[in-house]
Amino acid sequence: MNRKIEVTASLEVVPIELWTEEESMLITKAKEILESAHAPYSKFLVGAALLLENGSVFAANNQENVSFPVGICAERAVLSYVMGNYPRIKPLKIAIAAKRIGEDIYAYVTPCGICRQTINEYEMKFGSSIEILMLNGQEEILKAKGIEQLLPFRFNKFNS
Ligand code: THU
């Protein structure tokens, strides 16, 4: 009989009353920056805020293109900028928020596959997990302790 490999992935659901100050601050930054996203095609505005070990926070949003595949997600935009400019400072947490143009409520959002692989890259580089905080509606965060929870069976070993 074939062997089976099973993994359990889990997200913590954190209601607004239990958000830490740091979580509220990161979510606020993600909400603010999504308003400046360039998303005329999908009309789905996304913001991502990245916390580094030295306490600094950077934020970016999705930037779409008339040639659709050229667009970049908020998560990769902020990670590329920050990891390019501060390559030795460990990223600790990334918060993500999204909203459809014309709607007031925040949408359910989780990072796409390419962004998950990108987060994995920086977990590998620094040898530690990056917490992922995903705003779900107005009053709830879905929290992943690390990329393992969003990308089980990921490709993270090369030549071994
Ligand atoms: N998008 C992000 O920026 N991050 C996500 O986590 C999900 C998707 C963007 C890509 C595209 O500009 C738009 O949202 C619709 O997919």
Nearest CA to ligand 1 atom 2: 73
Ligand 1 contacts CB of residue 61 (under 6 A): no
Look at residue 156 in the predicted model and tell me its pLDDT: 83
46-82 per-position pLDDT tens digit: 999 999 999 999 999 999 999 999 999 999 999 999 9
Look at residue 50 in the predicted model and tell me its pLDDT: 99
- Verify whether residue 22 is a known catalytic residue: no
Q: Looking at the domain that runs over 12-151, which CATH code has it been given?
A: 3.40.140.10
Residue 140 pLDDT greater than 90, yes or no: yes
Mean pLDDT confidence for 127-150: 98
Distance from C-alpha of 9 to C-alpha of 12, rounded to nearest angstrom: 10
Q: 160 falls in which pLDDT band (50, 70, 90)?
A: low
Note the pTM of the prediction, 2 decimals: 0.96
CA of 1 to the centre of ligand 1 (A): 41
Domain ranges in the chain are 12-151
In contact, 75 and 111? CB cutoff 8 Å: yes
* 21 CB-near residues (< 8 Å, 6+ apart): none
Ligand 1 contacts CB of residue 51 (under 6 A): no
1-45 per-position pLDDT tens digit: 899 999 999 999 999 999 999 999 999 999 999 999 999 999 999
Which residues of 8-43 form beta strands (DSSP E)? Answer: 12-15
Length of the chain equals 160
Look at residue 138 in the predicted model and tell me its pLDDT: 94
CA of 100 to the centre of ligand 1 (A): 11
Nearest CA to ligand 1 atom 14: 44
Distance from C-alpha of 23 to C-alpha of 102, rounded to nearest angstrom: 26
- Among candidate residues 64, 75, 123, 131, the one labeled active-site is 75
Look at residue 65 in the predicted model and tell me its pLDDT: 98
103-137 per-position pLDDT tens digit: 999 999 999 999 999 999 999 999 999 999 999 99
- Taking alpha carbons only, the member of 128, 61, 62 closest to residue 93 is 128
Residue 147 pLDDT greater than 90, yes or no: yes
104-113 contacts at long range (C-beta below 8 A, 24 or more positions apart) = 105/137, 105/138, 106/31, 106/135, 106/136, 106/137, 106/138, 107/44, 108/134, 108/136, 108/137, 109/46, 109/134, 109/135, 109/136, 110/134, 110/142, 110/150, 111/73, 111/75, 111/150, 112/73, 113/151
